[in-house]
């Protein structure tokens, strides 16, 4: 009897080729990969620390050292406000009506608390004030809900207290609020990059995911940004959404090419299994689709894994001539630079620290990591008590630093060069790390990587499954103890 994962994998569109990854995942010996991609909803990857209950003072000391040693860092602020919650969202948000009488006070508080947290970081990590910011991001949520006075107040603080001399500025919003006037304000404030979620260019699919904008509004936002002199525009597309077909994704990619977009993020979304078994908001509350029982709506169903990988191959096929993928899921035009902030934290010759200010932020360096509280009331309570709102922190042992560095490098899809690795680790080859060496032997046997003259390159199937490789391999359980 077939299990759910195999049945989902066999859900194929006969009008399109069987994806290359299909036969790999169908093999019983590769069950751990299939189980992962079937259960993981968002195709993301993490690089966790291995030392539990790491003292915060040690974390800040590690961040101080890491920032002092780094050429640049990534700094970001998180603004959690949204007008509504997208059905697929599992991020911490503060839902409000921006036109309501209470909204002004909420926005003021959000900026106040963000600034308060940033001041505390500057006290705890003195080198942060002088560190060269490579890129500054305002993520969300929907930061473009911030009223102009609050946005200007927030940016005045960051410009005054951090080193933006070499920084590029990137802003995240949504089509309903990134209008011509707001884009003009962003341009004036120094933002040269914007990103927003289109998710699809099919209005029925946009609506089924709970989004309150249209495809035309997305295209209008792109036009308005260009009119303001912002030609670096990144849009997020999702494949695997309710009601979506392989033909729909083909149309989405055709629109990307027609619009000549500089950057696009294509994210796998396997929501059906996630919604059946897990909660969607900070691990506590049900997502909107779960509450309303909207696994199937108006005859719409989720595409299975087989169709999702057909969609992935279609994305690769259509973008191959004009775009490069770096890191995984992030595509940029050949004549453009890749996403700078991603390169700062994942490229093997960098992997610099990042500092996140705001609800649910994640800050890290090579030696330690910390994750902020995701509940807004608790977040404010910590700051009111004079404490940074950090929920948990981990240290990273010397051996795990090597493993994380290798995994990050693998996620970029750039071949991992041992000569670059050895420069990072005092002449040590990655093959001298028992976990990396043993895992690479396994991956090579499965034909997920090729190793030639000290350079590790993902095969096409390995590229498709890179998140599964990163999140299921490179463990002591698989590699054994030294």
DSSP string covering 316-356? HHHHTTTEEE-STTEEEETTS---HHHHHHHSTT----EEE
What pLDDT sits at residue 270?
A: 64
Instruction: Give the length of the chain.
Output: 482
What pLDDT sits at residue 482?
A: 41
CB 249 within 8 A of CB 314: yes
Structural domain includes residue 367: no
- What is the spatial distance between Cα 372 and Cα 390, in angstroms, rounded to a whole number? 4
Structural domain includes residue 417: yes
Question: Which of 65-69, 167-171, 290-294 is least confident?
Answer: 290-294
- What is the spatial distance between Cα 266 and Cα 251, in angstroms, rounded to a whole number? 14
For residue 338, give the DSSP letter: -
86 and 14 together in one domain: no
315 and 233 together in one domain: yes
Please say which residue of 310, 329, 346 terminates a domain. 346
Q: Which residues contact 453 (CB under 8 A, 6 or more apart)?
A: none
What pLDDT sits at residue 277?
A: 42
- Residue 386, number of CB atoms within 10 A of its CB: 8
Q: Which residues contact 10 (CB under 8 A, 6 or more apart)?
A: 2, 304, 306
What pLDDT sits at residue 180?
A: 95
What pLDDT sits at residue 41?
A: 67
What pLDDT sits at residue 260?
A: 97
Peptide linkage before 263 cis (omega within 30 of 0):
no
H or E element that contains 198: strand 193-199
Mean pLDDT of 213-234: 97
Structural domain includes residue 130: yes
For 116, 164, 170, 171, 380, the CA distances from 112, given in Å and listed in that order, are: 6, 21, 21, 19, 10
Residue with tokens 């299921």: 472
98 and 14 together in one domain: no
Structural domain includes residue 269: yes
Res 283 pLDDT > 50: no
Res 84 pLDDT > 90: no
Structural domain includes residue 32: yes
Mean pLDDT of 436-459: 98
CB 240 within 8 A of CB 205: no
192-215: per-residue pLDDT in tens? Answer: 999 999 999 999 999 888 888 999
H or E element that contains 236: strand 232-239
Res 275 pLDDT > 50: no
For residue 24, give the DSSP letter: H
144 and 249 together in one domain: yes
DSSP-derived 3-state class of residue 301: coil
Res 1 pLDDT > 70: no
What is the percentage of the chain residues whose pLDDT exceeds 70?
91
How confident is residue 425, by pLDDT bands cut at 50, 70 and 90?
very high
Mean pLDDT of 281-302: 57
Structural domain includes residue 362: no
325 and 403 together in one domain: no
Q: 374: closest CA among 270, 279, 240, 274?
A: 279
469-478: per-residue pLDDT in tens? Answer: 999 999 876 5
pTM of the model: 0.93
Indicate the number of domains in the chain.
3
Cβ neighbourhood burial of 221 (10 Å; 0-12, 13-18, 19+): buried
Copy the structure tokens of residue 459.
């095969």
Q: 253: closest CA among 211, 197, 316?
A: 316
Please say which residue of 306, 325, 346 terminates a domain. 346
- Output the average pLDDT for the chain: 92
Q: 421: closest CA among 437, 438, 397?
A: 437
What is the percentage of the chain residues whose pLDDT exceeds 90?
83
- β-strands 263-268, 330-333 pairing: antiparallel
> CATH number of the domain that 475 lies in?
1.10.10.920
Res 383 pLDDT > 90: yes
DSSP β-bridge partners for residue 452 = 455
298 and 414 together in one domain: no
How confident is residue 43, by pLDDT bands cut at 50, 70 and 90?
low
**Positive or negative torsion for Cα 374, 377, 378, 380:** positive
CB 64 within 8 A of CB 126: yes
86-134: per-residue pLDDT in tens? Answer: 877 777 888 899 999 999 999 999 999 999 999 999 999 999 999 999 9
Mean pLDDT of 60-81: 97
- What is the spatial distance between Cα 3 and Cα 141, in angstroms, rounded to a whole number? 36
Res 287 pLDDT > 80: no
For 227, 273, 475, the CA distances from 231, given in Å and listed in that order, are: 9, 38, 42
> CATH number of the domain that 281 lies in?
3.30.750.200
Q: C-alpha angle with apex 455: 67 to 323, nearest 5 degrees?
A: 75
How confident is residue 278, by pLDDT bands cut at 50, 70 and 90?
very low
310-334: per-residue pLDDT in tens? Answer: 999 999 999 999 999 999 999 999 9
Structural domain includes residue 47: no
What pLDDT sits at residue 39?
A: 85
- Residue 433: give the domain boundaries: 397-482
Q: C-alpha angle with apex 351: 364 to 429, nearest 5 degrees?
A: 120
For 212, 265, 358, the CA distances from 217, given in Å and listed in that order, are: 10, 18, 29
101 and 12 together in one domain: no
What pLDDT sits at residue 480?
A: 47
Q: How many contiguous H segments (helices) and E segments (strands) does the chain have?
A: 21, 17
CB 303 within 8 A of CB 16: no
Q: What are phi and psi of 125, to 5 degrees?
A: -130, 85
- Residue 251, number of CB atoms within 10 A of its CB: 15
């Amino acid at each position: 009897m077939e299990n759910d994962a195999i049945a989902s994998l066999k859900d194929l569109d006969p009008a399109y080729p069987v994806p290359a990854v299909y036969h790999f995942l169908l093999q019983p010996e590769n069950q751990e990969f299939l189980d992962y991609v079937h259960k993981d909803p968002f195709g993301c990857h993490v690089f966790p620390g291995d030392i539990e209950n790491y003292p915060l003072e040690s974390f800040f000391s590690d961040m101080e050292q890491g920032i002092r040693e780094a050429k640049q860092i990534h700094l970001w602020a998180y603004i959690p406000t949204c007008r509504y919650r997208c059905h697929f969202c599992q991020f911490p948000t503060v839902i409000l009506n921006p036109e309501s009488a209470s909204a002004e006070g909420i926005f003021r508080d959000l900026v106040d608390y963000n600034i308060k947290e940033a001041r505390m970081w500057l006290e705890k990590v003195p080198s942060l004030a002088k560190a060269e910011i490579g890129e500054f991001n305002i993520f969300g949520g929907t930061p473009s809900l911030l009223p102009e006075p609050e946005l200007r107040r927030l940016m005045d603080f960051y410009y005054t207290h951090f080193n933006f001399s070499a920084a590029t500025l990137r802003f995240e919003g949504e089509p309903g609020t990134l209008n011509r006037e707001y884009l003009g304000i962003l341009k004036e404030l120094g933002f040269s990059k914007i990103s927003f979620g289109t998710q699809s260019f099919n209005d029925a699919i946009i609506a089924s995911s709970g989004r309150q904008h249209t495809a035309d509004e997305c295209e209008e936002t792109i036009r308005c940004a260009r009119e303001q002199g912002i030609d670096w525009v990144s849009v997020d597309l999702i494949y695997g959404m309710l009601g979506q077909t392989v033909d729909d994704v083909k149309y989405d990619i055709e629109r990307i090419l027609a619009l000549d977009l500089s950057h696009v993020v294509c994210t796998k979304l396997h929501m059906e299994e996630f919604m059946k078994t897990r909660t969607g908001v900070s691990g506590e509350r049900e997502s909107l689709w779960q509450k309303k029982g909207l696994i199937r709506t108006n005859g719409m169903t989720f595409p299975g894994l087989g169709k999702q990988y057909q969609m992935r191959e279609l994305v690769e096929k259509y973008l191959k001539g004009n775009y490069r993928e770096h890191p995984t899921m992030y595509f940029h035009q050949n004549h453009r630079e890749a996403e700078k902030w991603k390169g700062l934290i994942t490229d093997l010759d960098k992997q610099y620290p990042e500092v996140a200010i705001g609800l649910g932020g994640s800050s890290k360096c090579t030696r330690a990591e910390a994750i902020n509280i995701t509940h807004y009331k608790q977040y404010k309570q910590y700051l009111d008590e004079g404490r940074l709102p950090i929920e948990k922190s981990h240290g990273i042992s010397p051996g795990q630093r090597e493993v994380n560095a290798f995994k990050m490098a693998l996620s970029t899809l750039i071949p991992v060069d041992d000569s670059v690795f050895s420069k990072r680790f005092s002449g040590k080859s990655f093959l001298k790390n028992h976990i990396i060496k043993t895992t690479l032997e396994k991956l090579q046997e499965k034909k997920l990587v090729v190793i030639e003259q000290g350079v590790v390159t993902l095969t096409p199937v390995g590229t498709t499954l890179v998140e599964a490789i990163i999140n299921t391999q490179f463990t002591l359980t698989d590699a054994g103890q030294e």
